[in-house]
């Protein structure tokens, strides 16, 4: 019987290292705030924002009247009114004069 215990000593379940009181692990549940998706500003909206800023209207009033976020106002202040895109595609082989 001693030989059996010596050969099969690893069949016993491993003992935990910490033998203190065990408490159950509960997940932390935090309340989430719903995200509101704001409408994207059109070119006309950006022109109105730009004009109002030039006239000295307070940014808070602009946000309230046009129903936009502060971030949209900040974007309009620091970027061009209309995005400048380069025409994509292969350049024409014939110029307008040769056609």
Q: Is residue 46 part of a domain?
A: yes
How large a percentage of the chain has pLDDT more than 90?
26
pLDDT tens-digit map of 47-87: 999 999 999 999 999 999 999 999 999 989 998 877 666 66
Domains contained in the chain, number: 1
Dist CA 60 CA 53 (whole Å): 11
| Band of residue 99 on the pLDDT scale cut at 50, 70, 90 | low
Question: Mean pLDDT over residues 33-43, rounded?
Answer: 76
In a domain, 43, yes or no: yes
Q: What is the mean pLDDT of residues 11-38?
A: 67
Is the pLDDT at 16 greater than 90, yes or no?
no
User: Is 95 part of any domain?
Assistant: no
Query: What is residue 32's three-state secondary structure?
Result: coil
Under 8 Å between Cβ of 59 and 29: no
Which residues constitute the domain of residue 73?
39-81
């Amino acid at each position: 019987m001693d030989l059996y215990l010596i050969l099969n000593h690893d069949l016993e379940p491993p003992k935990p290292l910490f033998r203190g009181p065990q408490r159950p692990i509960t997940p932390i549940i935090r309340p989430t705030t719903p995200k509101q998706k704001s409408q994207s500003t059109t070119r006309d909206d950006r022109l109105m924002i730009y004009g109002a800023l030039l006239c000295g209207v307070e940014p808070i009033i602009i946000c309230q009247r046009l129903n936009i976020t502060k971030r949209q106002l900040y974007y309009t202040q620091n970027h061009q009114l209309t995005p400048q895109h380069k025409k994509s595609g292969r350049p024409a082989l014939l110029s307008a004069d040769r056609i």
